[in-house]
């Protein structure tokens, strides 16, 4: 199971790998800041190395305490290449375009987290079962118990990796354009916010007529969030 300690109030260490050099005022090693961004985005991009060359694979992740998890096929090249290796896992949310008076001052508002550690296979059967349950429950609370139970074959075909967060940074921009000193230049400036939401559910073909969209999913769609 995931560690409860260190407490989320203690920062991640600052090292040569993870010291924020560009716009350092936008960066933090705060545990709670990093966790909030990991939790806000279901999608991450995992970086790993094969024969010295970089690969970046998009995948779903979830977090429990100081561990981030992801899953896929037991035969996946991506999972096999990451196992027991140093990995960089990045989550990015683009919150808006920032339009300035000059080209140079354009930017985007964003939240991103970069996490470093060593990926490990979750091979204890109970931990693996717990982790897969969390994957579902984290996205769709209450859904696990309503599903057709997993088979031994399905569990065998699946690998779960997890990574203890050794180092991490969060970087956030959330502001209007930074060129108020040029406010008299005659061009519109400001922010175009970007939002993501769930659209109305599309029921699968072949569904028996008496089965309705569960209230928890209807609530999620209505919330305007995507998780």
Ligand X SMILES: Cc1cc2nc3c(=O)[nH]c(=O)nc-3n(C[C@H](O)[C@H](O)[C@H](O)COP(=O)(O)OP(=O)(O)OC[C@H]3O[C@@H](n4cnc5c(N)ncnc54)[C@H](O)[C@@H]3O)c2cc1C
**For residues 121 and 140, which CB has a smaller minimum distance to a copy of itself in the complex?**
140
Q: Show contacts with ligand HEM in window 28-57 (CB under 6 A).
A: none
**For residues 55 and 185, which CB has a smaller minimum distance to ligand X in the complex?**
55
Taking CB under 6 A as the rule, does residue 22 contact ligand X? yes
- Please report, for residues 45, 118, 160, the alpha-carbon distance to residue 73 in angstroms, rounded to integers and kept in the order given: 17, 19, 9
Least distance to ligand X, CB of residue 3, Å: 21
Kindly write out the interface string for residues 109-148 of this chain, putting x where it contacts ligand X by CB under 6 A and - elsewhere: -x-xxx----------------------------------
Among 47, 57, 127, 191, binds ligand X (CB under 6 A): 57
Q: Taking CB within 5 to 8 Å according to partner kind, which of a copy of itself, ligand HEM, ligand X, none is near residue 45?
A: a copy of itself
**For residues 7 and 186, which CB has a smaller minimum distance to a copy of itself in the complex?**
186
Question: Cis omega before residue 6 (within 30°)?
Answer: yes
Q: Taking CB within 5 to 8 Å according to partner kind, which of ligand X, a copy of itself, ligand HEM, none is near residue 113?
A: ligand X
Burial class (CB in 10 A: 0-12, 13-18, 19+), 155: middle
How many residues in the chain? 227
**For residues 35 and 71, which CB has a smaller minimum distance to ligand HEM in the complex?**
71
**For residues 92 and 129, which CB has a smaller minimum distance to ligand X in the complex?**
92
Taking CB under 6 A as the rule, does residue 92 contact ligand X? yes
Question: Which residues does 61 contact at the CB level (< 8 Å), separation at least 6?
Answer: 38, 42, 43, 44, 68, 69, 70, 89, 91
Helix (H) or strand (E) holding 172: strand 167-173
Taking CB under 6 A as the rule, does residue 18 contact ligand X? yes
Taking CB under 6 A as the rule, does residue 59 contact ligand X? yes
Question: Quick check: 78 and 48 in contact, CB under 8 A?
Answer: yes
Question: Which residues does 93 contact at the CB level (< 8 Å), separation at least 6?
Answer: 37, 40, 41, 110, 111, 112
Kindly write out the interface string for residues 79-98 of this chain, putting x where it contacts a copy of itself by CB under 8 A and - elsewhere: -------xxxxx-x-x--x-
Least distance to a copy of itself, CB of residue 16, Å: 10
- Please report, for residues 38, 61, 219, the alpha-carbon distance to residue 91 in angstroms, rounded to integers and kept in the order given: 6, 9, 25
């Amino acid at each position: 199971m995931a560690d409860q300690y260190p407490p989320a109030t203690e920062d991640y260490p600052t090292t040569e790998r993870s010291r924020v050099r560009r716009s350092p005022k936008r960066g933090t090693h705060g545990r709670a800041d990093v966790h909030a961004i990991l939790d806000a985005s279901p999608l991450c991009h995992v970086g790993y190395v094969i024969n010295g060359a970089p690969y970046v694979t998009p995948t779903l992740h979830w977090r429990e305490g100081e561990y981030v998890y992801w899953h896929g096929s037991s035969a996946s090249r991506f999972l096999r290449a990451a196992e027991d290796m140093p990995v960089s896992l990045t989550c990015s949310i683009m919150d808006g375009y920032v339009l300035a008076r000059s080209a140079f001052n354009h930017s985007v508002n964003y939240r991103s987290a970069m996490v470093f550690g060593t990926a490990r296979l979750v091979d204890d059967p109970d931990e693996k079962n717990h982790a897969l349950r969390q994957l579902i429950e984290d996205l769709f609370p209450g859904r696990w118990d309503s599903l057709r139970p997993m088979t031994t074959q399905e569990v065998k075909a699946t690998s779960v990796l997890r990574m203890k967060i050794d180092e991490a940074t969060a970087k956030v921009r959330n502001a209007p354009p930074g060129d108020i000193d040029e406010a008299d230049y005659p061009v519109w400036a400001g922010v175009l916010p970007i939002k993501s939401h769930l659209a109305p559910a599309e029921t699968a073909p072949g569904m028996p007529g008496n089965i309705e969209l569960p209230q928890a999913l209807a609530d999620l769609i209505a919330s305007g969030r995507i998780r």
